[in-house]
Amino acid sequence: MKKLAKFIIVAITQFSFVANVSSEELFESQNEYNKSHLTGSGFITAHELKNKYVEFTVIDKRAIFEGDIILSGVSKFNMQFEIYKLKSSSSDYETKGIAITGSKYRWKNNTLPYQINENIGTELKLKILDAIEHWKLNTNIELVERTDKNSKLYNDYVEFLYWSEGCAADVGRKSGRQEILLKNACSTGNIIHEIGHALGLWHEQSRSDRDQYVEIINKNIEPWSKHNFEQRITDGDDIGEYDCASIMHYGSRAFSINNAPTIRPKDSDCVIGQRQGLSQNDIATINYLYPKIEIE
């Protein structure tokens, strides 16, 4: 199977100010705040992708895409960043998911080194450790704590940090330190989800075929959050079939302005937005991306 990873340099062409934000739903938890937010927007061009319009929310000098994905490098002071276009063939294997393509975005030796910042409280730390254990028990991924003694072995790593705004993470391995941001209300399931991003998984409903499986109900979406549903940076290049049970899927009321559904499955048996644990297809997808290392 031939897989191709492409990177796209994005120039931010404008900032617009959005005031009086009332609420934002990040998956199953409701986050209330009255802070004003900036939104960034721009056009991306690469290969067959011509002048695609992209929007994101700027929170605490971070560019947040699809509610909890950090677009590294974007701030009020730095107007460029990179995103990645997935290219793959869904006919070559049976896993179900959506992931950033390219070995450079995988963690070496199936190992995700991590640190927990001292600003993380005891209760949140316990949830992080539970989420880490869930990944270790169910996948080929090994999560190793980065310490002063072994830090030279792990130049690339994630750091769990307290963040009052919600839960967020980069997608895939970056160079050096990268963040997994968490507030106290983030559940163990939310943290499992964010670790999934760090390992390379996109949101399930970002797939190009999602309209075959779910309906997006625009009238119920907060006006300043609609870009989280409209901008699908993977543009038709998916892995396997759609997985309603994925822990990477939005909940049915994500970013709702009136507590009514914003995503409605077309199949009544399709239940979306669970944050209990990895689905069988999440596990299959990660184990495809990170095959078991055979010890000789």
**Residues labelled catalytic:** 194
Q: What is the distance between the alpha carbons of residues 108 and 112, in angstroms, rounded to a whole number? A: 8
The rounded radius of gyration (Å) of the Cα atoms in the chain is 18
Give per-residue burial for 257-266: e unless 16+ CB within 10 Å, then b: beeebbbebe
Residue 289 burial class via C-beta count within 10 angstroms: exposed 0-12, middle 13-18, buried 19 and up: buried
Show Cβ contacts of residue 268 under 8 Å, excluding neighbours closer than 6 positions.
Answer: none
- Asked whether the beta carbons of 281 and 238 are under 8 A apart, the reply is no
- Asked whether the beta carbons of 101 and 84 are under 8 A apart, the reply is yes
